[in-house]
Chains A and B, each alone.
Chain A
Amino acid sequence: MTGYTYTVFIILIPLVMFLVTGLLGMKWKPIVSGILGTIGMGTSWILSLITAGSYFFGQHAGGFQTIIPFELKWLQFTDTLIIKLGILLDPISVMMLVVITTISFMVHLYSIGYMHGETGFARFFSFLSLFTFSMLGLVIATNIFQMYIFWELVGVSSFLLIGFYYQKPSAVAASKKAFIVTRFADLGFLIGILILSFVTGTFDFGKLTEPGTAIFGSAASMSFMGISAMTWAMTLIFIGGAGKSAMFPLHIWLPDAMEGPTPVSALIHAATMVVAGVFLVARMFPVIHFQAPATQEIIAYVGGFTSLFAAVIAITQYDIKRVLAFSTLSQLGYMMLALGVSGYGGEEGLGYMASMFHLFTHAMFKALLFLGAGSIIHAVHSNNMYDMGGLRKYLPITHITFLIACLTIAGVPFLSAFFSKDEILVAALHHNKLLFAVEFIVAGLTAFYMFRLYFCVFWGKDRHYHHTPHESPLVMTIPLMFLAVASVFAGYLPFTELVTSDKMGFESGMDYMVAVPSVLIGLFGIAMAWMLYKKESEVPAKLAKGWGILYTATYHKFYFDEIYLFVTRKIIFNYISRPIAWFDRHVIDAFMVGIGLVTEKASYQIKGMQSGQLQHYAFAFVAGTLALALSMIYFMM
């Protein structure tokens, strides 16, 4: 099964585009960089579609094969410690290739319009290419170390993109926050990798995820603090994934990261970077499921809690990008939860399939939502949804596509998320009633906050706009229309056949016991939003006042930023950083300064010996020689 060697170009093209637009972008008109980047990305996209087509619809009797069309030894330290770079094709990585290149291509195209006239246009496109390259490298990694390398590259390139407006202090702070939080989580990931490879003696996914493999034989006996080594390893790796996917305790960076340009939010924070964590868990799924069931429980509960937590916060936010950011958190929670409740193989692996399915559909509709939000912001020059209203007249295409996306995320029947969300709910119901209840409520909340946003922005009274809002240019609306079509029809892809935990297809029908109530609660959420926000009224404000302290707490995101600030500023800075700084300044620095001082003083003392008198030198020389000669004679005798 070779013939996939061309997949190398899928990831090489963005790398080349990054170098070309990054190094030569200054010499051209900015638009050239944009067009070059877009064409390159388009080529990658087409190659990915070809790959997916031949992979999924080619010969796959008896399950999908894992194909490694390309692999090279990158670093060889010892006979067993080898770090390879390569390309691994299996259902999830091929699916991710399609997701990433599709979204990235749409974002490239859209950015030509959105970023038009901005300073740093070429820089923006080179960063976009770098980001896409690292994300693609992450999903096609053949071993966990390669994944870690690209994982960090994703972190760096997202830092660059979030901090794109580097003259804006808030953007700089947000990019630092994103980088530090994810970096902190990556520490867990790295330790997890080290434990895992220590136990198993390999980095390769092929060996790790093979069911019934014997490499965990030695793991059973190892434990630390009463918890087995594999549970530690998997939990630490999950912490890395939770950092990138902004799961509950590490979610604080995602809302702030909305400081980046809107296409970046669409690319990074909706469709690609944040699903890296979900992808990681899916990649390690057989290991987690068989070797560390406790970790899988943790994943399920963290996912469930995050989805509820974020959905509640999303209701009170007024910055449209932040609403979408919290909505992303909530949907990511869904995916994590689905992985957490999944079994392995056949029908049991429903959760796994549902998670990947939802990842796919979510990428489409969330990218659409963000790009739509970008189109709105482009038209009214504000992020605040109370500055908007009645926009449906001015932005017809944006309005229709945004509505489609809202309907999709709300789980309205026959749109894509209806299918994927339903599968997740079914998987949760079979596993854990509590988590099912949580997700059921979140489904209603999701519909409510999305339509709150929708009605506030597109209905209601006109505001005082600086100039009449106008529809975005075609280069921005084409991606919107494409993604709208994808959002509607992505649900009809036969995911149960294609992307499953054991790579074998299985049959699955709708479970109407779950589907009907979840549609009803979605419609109920929409109806609530319609009553409260369709017309301007005092009701929402009164409601907010009625909830009082609870509303305020939610509005401030339950003060998590403040808690983190308190912990870092007041505790870590005062009690850890300051003593360390003192030690550095007064002990380490002082030692170095001391060496310098001693040398200086000593040389002041002896500098008189260099008198400039030739005969002094000659005398010293002769005396020394004589002394040497005499001592030689004395000791030799």
Chain B
Amino acid sequence: MIQGIPLEHFLIVSTIMFFIGVCGFIIRRNLITMLMAIELILNSVNINFVVFNRYLYPDQLQGQFFSLFIVGIAAAEASVAIALIINIYRNMKNIEVENVNEMKF
């Protein structure tokens, strides 16, 4: 399926996804959107794992297993994050990240 596609193309895609995620995390004010940005970052890493595994060590599966772990952890993280966001919503009636600034000097 991926024969003929050079490695660099995959890396370009994952780099673009990574920086979209970073920008989204820094720029977007909505906590849910920020969470989605984090997922983008994680998934760009997943692509890297799978692709490097496939291109460099085709007989082995460690990279793919890593990406499976990352997917599992991302699911757990999302559930915790959403639980937090729901609590923030109950307290503040919105989920703007700028309002969550109690922890300062």
Residues of A within 8 A of B (CB): 607-608, 610-615, 618-619, 622
Interchain CB contact under 8 A, A619 and B105: no
Given contacts A611-B101, A612-B100, A615-B25, 15 further A-B contacts (CB under 8 A): A608-B105, A610-B105, A612-B101, A612-B103, A612-B104, A613-B97, A613-B98, A613-B101, A614-B97, A615-B97, A618-B25, A618-B26, A619-B26, A622-B22, A622-B26
Closest chain B CB from A614 CB (angstroms)? 6
Q: Which residues of A contact B98 (CB under 8 A)?
A: 613
Q: Which residues of B contact A611 (CB under 8 A)?
A: 101, 104
Is the C-beta of B102 less than 8 angstroms from some C-beta in chain A? Answer: yes
Interchain CB contact under 8 A, A615 and B26: yes
Mask, B18-46, CB within 8 Å of A = 1, is 00001001110000000000000000000
List 12 interface pairs A-B (beta carbons < 8 Å), by A numbering.
A608-B105, A610-B105, A611-B101, A611-B104, A612-B100, A612-B101, A612-B103, A612-B104, A614-B97, A615-B25, A615-B27, A618-B26
Measured CB to CB, the nearest residue on chain B to A619 is B26
Q: Which residues of A contact B97 (CB under 8 A)?
A: 613-615
Listed from nearest, the 10 A-B pairs whose CB atoms lie closest are A612-B104, A612-B101, A607-B105, A610-B105, A612-B103, A619-B26, A615-B26, A610-B104, A611-B104, A618-B26
Q: Which residues of A contact B26 (CB under 8 A)?
A: 615, 618-619, 622
Q: Which residues of B contact A615 (CB under 8 A)?
A: 25-27, 97
Closest chain A CB from B51 CB (angstroms)? 20
Closest chain B CB from A625 CB (angstroms)? 10
Measured CB to CB, the nearest residue on chain B to A614 is B97
Q: Which residues of B contact A610 (CB under 8 A)?
A: 104-105
Closest chain B CB from A559 CB (angstroms)? 67
Mask, B34-71, CB within 8 Å of A = 1, is 00000000000000000000000000000000000000
Residues of B within 8 A of A (CB): 22, 25-27, 97-98, 100-105
Measured CB to CB, the nearest residue on chain A to B101 is A612
- In angstroms, Cα B27 to Cα A615, docked, is 8
- In angstroms, Cα B104 to Cα A622, docked, is 20
Q: Which residues of B contact A607 (CB under 8 A)?
A: 105
- In angstroms, Cα B104 to Cα A611, docked, is 5
Q: Which residues of B contact A618 (CB under 8 A)?
A: 25-26
- In angstroms, Cα B30 to Cα A615, docked, is 11
Closest chain A CB from B69 CB (angstroms)? 23
- In angstroms, Cα B98 to Cα A622, docked, is 19
Closest chain B CB from A558 CB (angstroms)? 71
Q: Which residues of A contact B105 (CB under 8 A)?
A: 607-608, 610
Measured CB to CB, the nearest residue on chain A to B97 is A614
Among A610, A614, A622, the one with the most B-chain Cβ atoms within 10 Å of its Cβ is A614
Q: Which residues of B contact A613 (CB under 8 A)?
A: 97-98, 101, 104
Closest chain B CB from A383 CB (angstroms)? 69
Q: Which residues of B contact A608 (CB under 8 A)?
A: 105
- In angstroms, Cα B104 to Cα A608, docked, is 9
Measured CB to CB, the nearest residue on chain B to A622 is B22
Q: Which residues of A contact B100 (CB under 8 A)?
A: 612, 614
- In angstroms, Cα B99 to Cα A612, docked, is 9
- In angstroms, Cα B27 to Cα A618, docked, is 10
- In angstroms, Cα B25 to Cα A43, docked, is 87
- In angstroms, Cα B34 to Cα A618, docked, is 11
Measured CB to CB, the nearest residue on chain A to B31 is A614
- In angstroms, Cα B24 to Cα A619, docked, is 11
- In angstroms, Cα B97 to Cα A618, docked, is 12
Closest chain A CB from B81 CB (angstroms)? 12
Closest chain A CB from B25 CB (angstroms)? 6
Q: Which residues of B contact A612 (CB under 8 A)?
A: 100-104
Measured CB to CB, the nearest residue on chain B to A604 is B105
- In angstroms, Cα B37 to Cα A38, docked, is 87
Q: Which residues of A contact B22 (CB under 8 A)?
A: 622
- In angstroms, Cα B68 to Cα A370, docked, is 96
Among B27, B100, B105, the one with the most A-chain Cβ atoms within 10 Å of its Cβ is B105
Among A607, A608, A610, A613, the one with the most B-chain Cβ atoms within 10 Å of its Cβ is A613
Closest chain A CB from B17 CB (angstroms)? 15
- In angstroms, Cα B19 to Cα A622, docked, is 10
Measured CB to CB, the nearest residue on chain A to B100 is A614
- In angstroms, Cα B98 to Cα A614, docked, is 8
- In angstroms, Cα B102 to Cα A612, docked, is 6
Measured CB to CB, the nearest residue on chain A to B23 is A622
Q: Which residues of A contact B103 (CB under 8 A)?
A: 612
- In angstroms, Cα B28 to Cα A615, docked, is 9
Closest chain B CB from A602 CB (angstroms)? 14
- In angstroms, Cα B27 to Cα A619, docked, is 9
Closest chain B CB from A203 CB (angstroms)? 62
Closest chain A CB from B32 CB (angstroms)? 14
Closest chain A CB from B38 CB (angstroms)? 10
- In angstroms, Cα B105 to Cα A612, docked, is 8
Q: Which residues of A contact B101 (CB under 8 A)?
A: 611-613
- In angstroms, Cα B99 to Cα A615, docked, is 12
Measured CB to CB, the nearest residue on chain B to A626 is B22
- In angstroms, Cα B26 to Cα A580, docked, is 59
Closest chain A CB from B59 CB (angstroms)? 32
Q: Which residues of B contact A619 (CB under 8 A)?
A: 26
- In angstroms, Cα B28 to Cα A45, docked, is 92
- In angstroms, Cα B101 to Cα A610, docked, is 10
- In angstroms, Cα B97 to Cα A34, docked, is 78
Q: Which residues of B contact A622 (CB under 8 A)?
A: 22, 26
